[in-house]
Chain A
């Protein structure tokens, strides 16, 4: 049924970007990211050495480092971090999972969106901290509370980004799918799923940050374990070295999680690499 086709010779152009340049740029960006933290560290060490503030208020970096080593050696840090990690894992999985389902339903069905959107937006406006007193009444102050609070924090951005991401798929692409008579499954697999990877990942990354922040908030209020608890405890006991260790760890874990997700995202979107 096919006419014999004639190929036309066209000059081929290399597509691979220079690997060397990429590595170079990567290292440069890491180095730049370290400038401010290192500067702060130097300033901190200088302030502590000058005796500008009493040691109980601003312990020297050396003391904090010793505390860190001590807490790592005793297993205390790992224990608190492990508990916090499990809470975030449970709460985030629950919240992000529900958020994906809800967001997909809202993005795919105008009716679901119209039904859910107003209430959802209203509830999402209330900050996570604002939910805690009410939830305490229903759930007590046990693990369930923490996981629900974390889940709620992750749910909101995941839902909203998923829904708006699916909505934002250009009508032109949907028309292509219709023109080639894609079934619903084909449309989902070939169009909606790949097209919503970027917005969904934005939501997930944002949700993870929110979950981690909510963890600290809920542990500050109602916990006897975890990194957030370590913060409160450190402050109350005036063990500022402990507090600084906890703060640093919370920040580092946050950065590491975000970087990990960014890598997964890049893997899923090879087509975005080399983008202009």
Chain B
């Protein structure tokens, strides 16, 4: 079941704000190969969450097409797991109960289910808190429970929306490593949104830089450094500068007219370092 290929073609999305259409996404083209780990960075409001929801199948009202292993995405699937930007734990369920929601429709015995839940409680470092309710957790603990819920049924594609945003640096580093290891081991394809450029570079085989208004792809950079990566790798530091420059440029310019196609094809050669445009 893993080995998920994702093809996003000409995806655009309009929201209606005060009766006027607001273009949240425009001309998004992106293909993610099976087992690939792609990270998305961009200023807040540039449509990252909107894009993930569309890929998850939670928002069918968009233009363009998303295909998962060749089949058009028309609704949610257990093969596409999603970790939302907010934990969204059900307050009336314990940590274990919430993680178990991810297995609600998995064809497993109760014992199997309990084993997987316990395993994932430990995985995200919540042992001892199985029976705690969300109100008793810190923001970071709640987010870890949400990550476990997204991972527990081992989807072929995992969509993660700023999953480590609420965590302290140490926990974040541990979970980044765990996530990377699990995805590599299971061949899970991952699409991870982050506002942390270092995180994007640490985890991504490619980094997608998005620009706002309308949300579009400004740049796609290959990160060729082998994984697992050292956070202090100088190659990453160089790429980091390139991405930051790119992000700053999109913030300063805010072009209303440039189409995503032009933006997406801007040659990598304009970047100071060895970033190859996809």
Contacts and interface: CB of A to CB of B under 8 A. Distances in A.
Contacts of B77: 181
Interface in A92-147: none
Contact of A180 (B91, B102, B119, B185): B102
Contacts of B105: 180-182, 186
Nearest to B1: A1
A276 B56 CA distance: 34
A221 B58 CA distance: 57
Given A191-B90, A274-B136, A3 B181 contact: yes
A2 interface: yes
B120 interface: yes
Contacts of B135: 271-272, 274-276
A15 B90 contact: no
Q: What is the interface residue range for chain A against chain B?
A: 20 to 34
Contacts of B241: none
Contact of B76 (A6, A179, A195): A179
Interface stretch (A48-56, A168-176, A207-215): A168-176
Contact of A5 (B82, B90, B122): B122
A159 to B, nearest CB: 23
B265 interface: no
Interface string A259-276: 000000000011110111
B180 to A, nearest CB: 11
B88 A172 contact: yes
A179 B181 contact: no
Given A1-B186, A194-B90, A271-B91, A180 B78 contact: yes
B84 A172 contact: yes
Contacts of B154: 1-2
A212 B174 CA distance: 59
Contacts of B53: 175
A3 B186 contact: yes
B227 to A, nearest CB: 15
27 contacts: A1-B154, A2-B119, A3-B181, A3-B182, A3-B186, A5-B120, A5-B123, A8-B125, A8-B174, A9-B127, A12-B129, A13-B128, A172-B86, A176-B84, A176-B101, A178-B58, A179-B58, A180-B78, A181-B78, A182-B105, A186-B105, A190-B104, A194-B92, A194-B93, A271-B134, A272-B135, A274-B135
Interface of A: 1-3, 5-10, 12-13, 15, 172-173, 175-176, 178-182, 186, 190-191, 194-195, 197, 269-272, 274-276
